[in-house]
Amino acid sequence: MDTATISDRLREGIISGDSVEVVAAVNAALEHGMTPLEVIQGGLQSGMTEVGERFSRYEVYLPEMMMAADAFEQAMKVLDPKLAAAGEEREKLGRVVLGAVQGDIHNLGKNIVATMLKVRGFEVFDLGVDVPASVFVDKAQELGANVIGLSALMTTTMPQQKTVIEHLKARGVRGKYFVMIGGGCTNADWAKEIGADAYGQSAGDAVTLALDAVKKQVS
Amino acid sequence: MLSFLKVVERAATGPVCSEHDFDLGILVPNIRKVVKKYDIKYDAGNPVPDDDGLADRVWAAGLELATETGVWCRTTERRILFTREEIQGALAFGPRGVVFGAGLDAKAMPRRKPEDSTPPWCSVGAGGGPVSTEANVLSLVKAYAENHLGDSITTPSLTNVDGQLVTAGSPFEIEGAIRTMVLSREALRRAGRADMPIVNAVATAVSAAGHIAGHRYGIRKGDALEIGTTAELKVDFDSLNKIALSLSEGSLVYAENGVILGGLAGGPAGTAVVTAAYNPIDILVLRGAVQHPFPTHFDLGTTSTRDTIWARAVANQAVSRNSLLPVVNIGYTCAGPTTKMVLYEFAAWVIACVVSGGSFEVGGSAHGTAIDHTSPIEPLFASEVAHAVVGMGRKEANRIVTGLLAKYEKNLADPPLGKRYQDCFDVASGTPSKEFLALYREVKGEMSSEFGLRLPNAGPYC
């Protein structure tokens, strides 16, 4: 079996969201002599990119993305210790802390954004739903996040996006994070009004915004 | 039928299950299994299918899904499970012929079947769409009620109280809920329809506490609360608390199920099956007097896409052929008031529902999220379209809906938001601008000339 064949197997395993197959393919790749970075950059990342593109074209939906992300995480449980042992690190685009703000229990849009960010290569810390403002700030500080994502579906929970920004300001850390907002009732005007850095209308927008933000932070 | 408190007991004692395991380990595999087993396939060329065999397979798939999956409770992180016999019992003994409203505006909710000659229930209003001023709430609700095809009112949500934003879980939410209720009742009195039922009785309220406040300030027994699952086959104690309150107060429940097309249900086939699966769940868990579905596109945030229309039509046919619990479909549009597109969108999904055995409720225009982007013209037009297609065959409806989709489908990703209520209506008198009235009449003319529909004149603007 050659490297190209193994990479194809890794890629197809990710696309089909088959964790068992992906872990088996990872072990086969390592036995074949591929380095952990080659495994990631070859089949795994290619599979994740393909799933993201298919989702953007409405060819697959959230379950396929979640299963691909799960399979990727299972693969990384095998690869991360080997990377550490070799003194290497996989490329991480940035860290995102996100959640639905306090009072809002709608998680689907937020889950799609979280999964698309993972698929694209971000480290994502999903705080879930009904998240108090201080928890966003505490977690972003603890993890050294690059981006904070705030989801609100309802007009009655939009004000909590503003509250999170006020907490960031009160603790003197507003400038450390790129704050993006989203959710059915929000828009660019609201983002500007509350002092957020950006508004994402779709999950694809959120990924683009996060990518731009980390590029600017690096430069 | 299983009692509500027995359902709550199961939420507290059922099998422990994490949300991740429920989603990817149980729900998604079960949906995929039944979609394949019952051979349910999306047909983009026929947004309103007329295949009774498909409808019955979707129903069978839905029942199997409900039985094997149950409902996940977010508060307890447990599954609420039902046997096949309990589900059959709910379907056999669930509510029917329920009367909404009182006095001159009392009316029994019709149970309809595909191509039924019984007029649909028309729930008119804003579906909780956000409105910025109390004057707008008063004016809008009064004008909605002046549409005499309207059987019930669905009020807007007030976004602020004395200039303070209404925030979920805060005292502003309680005050906003009370004001919306009081203003809506007063608006109905001014319209001469004081006893017309309000079916999203506490639109401004999110929490159970807000609903309790609404009950204290004007919700009546013939009104309904819209109480929904929090996501695909998921509830929490706050939702169940609202139901406990409604059962004790004797008010009714519109059981909401907003299945997201592209979410955990997957594509159109899975969305149709999950919507059908909700029917017995709506009786058992949400104690609904009607099923109130709104399959919504995950990216475009509307119910007017081709695939959501197909899923809705098939699910309505599945449910209305096999269950006694009536279906009142709520829906949204991408475009907003004063655009032709908003009327095309409403016409398309409303026609699909009515010929498939359902009734309808007009939700907000402009995704139901753009502040003040709602007007009485949209529900009036939707009611007139709905009555024009009563008794129509599904083949003919499919032709019309296909024609309507051709008019707006390409603009769904970048729709015109139109104008705010105060910019296209005289708020004091509740009358539309000359331009808006002309556009409404022009589109009514198109319905006649292009599709052969004879729309009644139900509004006060003739």
Q: Which two structure tokens, joined as six digits, stand for B436?
A: 């808006």
Compare all CA atoms of chain B with the CA of A205 and give the residue at the minimum distance.
B299
Residue B201 has pLDDT above 80, yes or no: no
Give the pLDDT of residue A206.
Answer: 93
Tens-digit pLDDT profile for residues A94-122 = 999 999 999 998 888 899 899 889 888 89
Spatial distance between the Cα atoms of B313 and A13, rounded to a whole number of angstroms: 35
Spatial distance between the Cα atoms of B448 and B384, rounded to a whole number of angstroms: 12
Give the pLDDT of residue B325.
Answer: 97
Half-sphere CA count of B418, side-chain side, radius 13 A: 32
Q: Read off the pLDDT band of B462 (50, 70, 90).
A: low
Strands B296-297 and B260-261: parallel
> Contact at 8 Å (CB) between A91 and A45?
no
Which chain B residues are Cβ-neighbours of A57 within 8 angstroms? none
Give the CATH number, domain containing residue A30.
1.10.1240.10
The whole-model pTM stands at 0.93
Last residue of a domain, one of A55, A86, A117: A86
Give the pLDDT of residue A41.
Answer: 87
Q: How many residues does chain B have?
A: 462
Whether residue B87 lies inside any domain: the answer is: no
Cα of first residue to Cα of last residue in chain B, in angstroms, is: 49
> Contact at 8 Å (CB) between A178 and A167?
no
Spatial distance between the Cα atoms of B285 and B271, rounded to a whole number of angstroms: 20
Residue B205 has pLDDT above 80, yes or no: no
Residue B444 has pLDDT above 70, yes or no: yes
Judged by CB atoms closer than 8 Å, whether chains meet at A154 and B74 is answered as no
Number of H-type helices and E-type strands within chain A:
10, 5
Spatial distance between the Cα atoms of B245 and B202, rounded to a whole number of angstroms: 13
Last residue of a domain, one of A86, A114, A130: A86
In single-letter form, the type of residue at position B432 comes to: P
Neighbours of B454 (CB within 10 A): 10
Residues A110 and A42 in one domain: no
Last residue of a domain, one of A86, A118, A141: A86
Q: What is the mean pLDDT of chain B?
A: 95
Whether residue B190 lies inside any domain: the answer is: yes
Residues A59 and A127 in one domain: no
Half-sphere CA count of A175, side-chain side, radius 13 A: 1
Judged by CB atoms closer than 8 Å, whether chains meet at B263 and A158 is answered as no
Spatial distance between the Cα atoms of A135 and A114, rounded to a whole number of angstroms: 17
Q: Indicate the burial class of A141 (C-beta count within 10 angstroms; 0-12, 13-18, 19 or more).
A: middle
Residue A90 has pLDDT above 90, yes or no: no
Q: Give B60 or A215, the one with higher predicted confidence.
A: B60
Å from B267 to nearest chain A CA?
7
Spatial distance between the Cα atoms of A39 and A29, rounded to a whole number of angstroms: 7
Long-range pairs, B86-92, Cβ under 8 A, ≥24 = B86/B2, B86/B284, B87/B63, B87/B280, B87/B284, B89/B1, B89/B2, B90/B1, B90/B2, B90/B280, B90/B283, B90/B284, B91/B279, B91/B280, B91/B283, B91/B323, B91/B324, B91/B325, B92/B1
Question: How would you write B293-321 as a 3-class SS string?
Answer: ECCEECCCCCCCCHHHHHHHHHHHHHHHH
Give the pLDDT of residue B447.
Answer: 98
Compare all CA atoms of chain A with the CA of B207 and give the residue at the minimum distance.
A103
Q: To the nearest whole percent, how much of chain B has pLDDT over 70?
A: 99
Strands (E), A4-144: 95-100, 123-126
What total of structural domains would you count in chain B?
1
Judged by CB atoms closer than 8 Å, whether chains meet at B168 and A70 is answered as no
Give the pLDDT of residue A203.
Answer: 86
Domain range enclosing B103: 99-451
The residue-averaged pLDDT of B447-459 equals: 95
Residues A79 and A139 in one domain: no
Residue A184 has pLDDT above 70, yes or no: yes
Residues A23 and A42 in one domain: yes
B299 touches chain A (CB under 8 A): yes
Cα-based distances in Å from B35 to A176, B55, B57, B65, B305: 47, 12, 9, 10, 21
Residues A168 and A202 in one domain: yes
Number of H-type helices and E-type strands within chain B:
16, 20
The residue-averaged pLDDT of B303-325 equals: 98
Compare all CA atoms of chain B with the CA of A63 and give the residue at the minimum distance.
B264
Tens-digit pLDDT profile for residues B94-141 = 898 899 999 999 999 999 999 999 999 999 999 889 999 999 999 999
Residue A9 has pLDDT above 70, yes or no: yes
Tens-digit pLDDT profile for residues B390-406 = 999 999 999 999 999 99
Give the pLDDT of residue A185.
Answer: 85
> Contact at 8 Å (CB) between A210 and A96?
yes
Give the pLDDT of residue A99.
Answer: 97
Q: Read off the pLDDT band of A3 (50, 70, 90).
A: confident
Spatial distance between the Cα atoms of B155 and B163, rounded to a whole number of angstroms: 20
Residue A1 has pLDDT above 80, yes or no: no
Which chain A residues are Cβ-neighbours of B74 within 8 angstroms? 105
Whether residue B41 lies inside any domain: the answer is: no
Give the pLDDT of residue B297.
Answer: 94
Residues A11 and A82 in one domain: yes
What total of structural domains would you count in chain A?
2
Neighbours of B6 (CB within 10 A): 12
Tens-digit pLDDT profile for residues B330-357 = 999 999 999 999 999 999 999 999 999 9
Instruction: Report how many Cβ contacts below 8 Å link chain A to chain B.
Output: 80
Q: Read off the pLDDT band of B217 (50, 70, 90).
A: confident
> Contact at 8 Å (CB) between B118 and B356?
no
Residues A131 and A214 in one domain: yes
Angle separating helix axes A3-15 and A19-32, nearest 10 degrees: 160
Which chain A residues are Cβ-neighbours of B206 within 8 angstroms? 103, 154, 156-157
Please identify among residues 69-88 of chain B the ones whose CB lies closer than 8 Å to any CB of chain A: 74
Q: To the nearest whole percent, how much of chain B has pLDDT over 90?
A: 87
Closest by CA position to B370, among listed B131, B151, B164 = B131
Residues A103 and A44 in one domain: no
Please identify among residues 161-180 of chain A the ones whose CB lies closer than 8 Å to any CB of chain B: none
Give the CATH number, domain containing residue B146.
3.20.20.460
Give the pLDDT of residue B160.
Answer: 92
Residue B175 has pLDDT above 80, yes or no: yes
Q: How many residues does chain A have?
A: 219
Cα-based distances in Å from B407 to B304, B360, B444: 12, 22, 15
Compare all CA atoms of chain A with the CA of B205 and give the residue at the minimum distance.
A156
Å from B170 to nearest chain A CA?
9
Domain range enclosing A20: 3-86
Residue A219 has pLDDT above 80, yes or no: no
Question: Which residues, other chains included, contact B47 with Cβ-Cβ below 8 Å and sequence gap of 6+?
Answer: B306, B309, B310, B313, B348, B352, B398, B401, B402, B405
Judged by CB atoms closer than 8 Å, whether chains meet at A62 and B264 is answered as yes
Judged by CB atoms closer than 8 Å, whether chains meet at B369 and A156 is answered as no
Spatial distance between the Cα atoms of B381 and B455, rounded to a whole number of angstroms: 9
Residue B410 has pLDDT above 80, yes or no: yes
DSSP label of B241: H
Residues A115 and A214 in one domain: yes
The residue-averaged pLDDT of B150-163 equals: 94
Residues A107 and A213 in one domain: yes
Among B20, B22, B27, B28, most A C-beta atoms within 10 A, so best to mutate, is B28
Give the CATH number, domain containing residue A102.
3.40.50.280
Å from B28 to nearest chain A CA?
7
Compare all CA atoms of chain A with the CA of B270 and give the residue at the minimum distance.
A61
| Max Cα-Cα span within chain B | 61
Residues A180 and A98 in one domain: yes
Residues A108 and A67 in one domain: no
> Contact at 8 Å (CB) between A157 and B176?
no
Tens-digit pLDDT profile for residues B249-269 = 888 999 999 999 999 999 999
Strands A178-182 and A147-151: parallel
Compare all CA atoms of chain B with the CA of A70 and give the residue at the minimum distance.
B24
Q: Mean pLDDT lowest for which of A185-189, B75-79, B324-328? A: A185-189
Residue A218 has pLDDT above 80, yes or no: no
Tens-digit pLDDT profile for residues B14-57 = 999 999 999 999 999 999 999 999 999 999 999 999 999 999 99
